[in-house]
Structure 1
Amino acid sequence: MDIEVHAATHDRFDDLALMLGPKKNADASVCWCLSHRIPAKLNHELRGSERGDFVRQLTRQPVAPGVLAYVDGEVAGWAAVAPRADLPFARSTKIPRIDDLPVWSVWCIRVRPGFRGRDVSHAALAGAVEYARSNAAPAVEGYPVDNRGERVDLTMAFVGTRATFERAGFVEAAKTDAVAGGFPRVLMRRAFS
């Protein structure tokens, strides 16, 4: 199995829509991976197809909104990554800012059904790390659940698990006051030398 990871640029928008957009009703107000990317007020104002249009515009920016993982040429995974300063995490009261380093954040990892259990999430996370590094990030943070090996509800699994981040070279940098799916979230960081 061959897994390749590419920035989610405008020419890959259809693949991004397959990963993040509504599956049945094109006008449904699904997340589109915006709930942790934009301020809450704007997130609630964007409805239906406006959400996809907003993401389409993000793909036209100099920094892509994340990366897409492909298995044998078919889109299979996604990881959102961006400078923390550009995200609501910069003002979070639950996930601490531990220093003044201009870190990037990875906050959403998704794998399409049919591709789960095939290391796609690991490849997407590795691709997000490399994308941040290639854009001069000094470090990357993630805020996964510390589920101690217990099963995480799929609706909350997008934040990732501590083990997934550890496998990618991240180390715990701080505890948080955040919880997802009943599990505490930890701040994990991978610094670049």
Structure 2
Amino acid sequence: MAIEVLPATAFTDIAAVLGPKRPDANVCWCLSYRIPSKLNVALRGPERGVLVQELAAQVPPPGVLAYDGDEVVGWAGVHPRADTSFARNRKIPHVDDRDVWSVWCIRVRPGHRGKGVSHHLLAGAVEFARDHGAPVIEGYPVDNHGEKVDLTMAYVGTRALFERGGFTKAATTDSVLNGFPRVLMRREL
């Protein structure tokens, strides 16, 4: 498997990973941390996909996509923290006032899990942030100590994944997901 990670500019590929099976469904589309909470709650059904399509046309786009050949197999949401809800999050601290980027969602399509795609996505998110001038990137994974994380909550990644990606723990948080504490992991670029 030769995984290539590219900026998420192809809306149809983003939709293949994040979109709903039914167009009227209110799935996340990886917007819950990317846009203000009131807007996130207000957007319904197809409106969510329309906003993602608009974000994909912006510079920088809202994240990166992983491809195995021509097939899209995964997604990572990555953007400047100042443009996300992490800029105002009370449970996840700010280490400093630098122009940090955040990676908050790593999703691998069914049938492609357990093959290392998440490692490629995290590395691609790091390169994407570096290519856009980020001095540092951080993520907020669970510290699960090797215990199984419910699949619906695994999108934040694990501390071990981030450590293997060159990140180090920079702070504890008050955030808990699926019963596991989240930690603030950081990597200098």
TM-score band, normalised by the shorter chain? over 0.9
Moved over 3 A (4+): none
What is the TM-score with the length of structure 1 in the denominator?
0.97
Which one-letter code corresponds to 1:22 in the other structure? Answer: P
Corresponding residue of 1:168: 165
Provide the C-alpha distance between the structure 2 equivalents of 1:175 and 1:98, rounded to a whole number of angstroms: 10
1:73 Cα deviation from its structure 2 partner: 2.0
Q: Report matched runs for 1:26-175 at 5 Å.
A: 26-175=23-172
Q: Deviations over 1:126-153 (max 9, x none)?
A: 0000000000000000000000000000
Q: After TM superposition, give the deviation of residue 168 of structure 1 in Å.
A: 0.4
Distance 2:177 2:67 in 1: 27
Is 1:178 matched with 2:175? Answer: yes
CA distance in 2, matches of 1:73, 1:151: 31
> Which runs of 5 or more residues in structure 1 are unaligned?
none
Aligned partner of residue 50 in structure 2, secondary structure? helix
Match of 2:6 in 1: 6
- Partner-residue secondary structure (3-state), 1:147: coil
1:14 aligned partner, one-letter code = T
Tell me, what secondary structure is at the counterpart of 2:38? helix
- Secondary structure (helix, strand or coil) at the match of 2:104 reads strand
**Aligned-partner SS, 1:148:** coil
The Cα of 1:72 is off from its aligned counterpart by: 2.3
Write the distance in 2 (CA, Å) between the matches of 1:187 and 1:147.
Answer: 13
Q: CA deviation at 1:26?
A: 1.1
